[in-house]
Structure 1
């Protein structure tokens, strides 16, 4: 009996956490998967008899939906441009903060981290004024050097770049702290040995700093990639997917279909296509990570 109690004790401790995880994480995923094979909408929620099983019709319709295909293209544009900029700028900021004095580094750490914890609506209001085509600060500064007004949020292509700039600025804080922690964990003896061998700063960065931060870089890249594939807040509050659907992302498309148009089955199907993209991208990165470690 005592042996049984000893074996069951760990399960009593982890049981509540597992139950919450199953109830609020795995169960909704299963429900969403089931819904994605039906025509569930607002009428169906009021009367379950109105819900019909339609198989993979939602998925087939999505692959021929011009708005959804455009949102896929927009999302991949965000990922291709935004991920390298986010990871690279965060790494550069961390390296620069690591080189300066402790008081100055602490001050700028707070400055760079504040946007990450600031409400996106407040940020959108400020950046909306900056991007204003008629009276915005950016166009005013460009006018000082005789450059015409740029339609920051009015042209589909420029609007995507504008949202990327905003998102990179907002997201630098967390990644910067991870890189900074990795930098501070590198033993000083490595750099002292490099100084004895006559290595310059570039050589120390290339052969000591970057290889020693490989795991932190991998982690930041994975989390940043997943975040950009779920790009939602910036286009939602700044452009609502416009102009001409030019800034719509897959996550925003899911929100529009599921919560604005109440097409829950259609939106759920789109969410699982996004889920598949995220899984594939993550597996590819793990594949490259394993290859690098085996070399």
Structure 2
């Protein structure tokens, strides 16, 4: 039978199998859309339920006067916003937020970069030091706050002991609002330093070695090498850290709550995120707390969009 079939084909060769016709472009495109939807839809549902819906509810509640334990909320329009923008306490809270966030972002990034440049070299025990620098970042903020309460304690704290050895009185960290804000800021920088350090260290280890070799051949100074060769390669990491560290610093709650409860003198270390907690759960003004949270969202959204735009312009150049 097989011999007869071969004999019927010219040249005695077996007939080639017929290839299946390609599917139409429209059908392939539809299959791609279905596949993308299958992967994206569960994530979009989770985002909608747990992110966007609470955000919209928060914005709605910001126009009401609502006690968190009450089943009903009274619509009052923009009264909460007018109260926040005209209150002197809110101005203090906003200023505290700007100072705390700005110093925390700049301080943790500068120190993180300095440590990354130092520990990127071949030094004895550098792996152990890297672990020690990163360790505070994974410790709970409440635990760090409790530990630093003993560091800044005016009676037997580490700072008081060190200053006493050189004949200097320790500042009133828990009575003076400015020193209290300094205290919580330093504590947060110490905790967050490991994060900026690791990101910068990864960026340094991923830079192009041939550029460093060219700078050495040209006998460039250390500062020139950093400014002309190293720093341009660190810009993507720097923009990433600017966004993430700013967002994280803007929302610090645990360290402030553990160390100062937002004080001294009422609002000495109260930031906007801590004001949300105070108004919602302490003062039982959930509507006003939602107003502060909404203003926070708008501020963070604007700052993030500006940072992204600056980053895009830097890449275009």
Q: Fold match, TM over 0.5?
A: yes
Task: Kindly report which structure 2 residues correspond to 1:149-160, keeping only aligned pairs within 5 A, or say none.
Answer: 149-160=170-181
Partners of 1:183 and 1:213 in 2: CA distance:
7
| Equivalent in the alignment of 1:115 | 136
Q: Does 1:279 align with 2:301?
A: yes
Higher Rg:
2
Q: Distance in 2 between matches of 1:154 and 1:170?
A: 23
Segments of structure 1 that go 5 or more residues without pairing to the other structure are none
Q: Taking structure 2 as the reference length, what is the TM-score of the superposition?
A: 0.86
TM-score by length of 1: 0.92
Is 1:95 equivalent to 2:120 in the alignment?
Answer: no
Corresponding position: 1:32 with 2:58: yes
Does the CA-based 8 Å contact 1:75-1:231 persist in structure 2?
no
Q: Quick check: 1:204 aligned with 2:230?
A: no
Consecutive unaligned residues of structure 2, counting only runs of 5 or more, are 1-25
Q: Does 1:65 align with 2:117?
A: no
State the distance in 2 between where 1:250 and 1:29 align.
17
Deviations 1:90-134 (A, max 9, x none): 111111111234x63321221011111112222122111111101
Of stretches 206-215 and 195-204 in structure 1, the one that deviates more from structure 2 is 195-204
- Equivalent position to 2:241, from 196, 200, 220: 220
Equivalent residue number for residue 5 of structure 2: none
Cα distance per residue 1:246-269 (max 9 Å; x no partner): 111010001111122221111011
Q: How does 1:1-295 map to 2 (within 5 A)?
A: 4-5=30-31, 7-44=33-70, 46=71, 48=72, 51-101=73-123, 104-244=125-265, 245-295=267-317
Tell me by how many angstroms 1:220 deviates: 0.5
Q: What is the count of residue pairs matched by the alignment?
A: 290
Task: Choose between structure 1 and 2: higher helix proportion.
Answer: 1
Supply the RMSD in Å over aligned alpha carbons.
1.9
CA pair 12-287 structure 1, distance change in 2 beyond 3 A:
closer
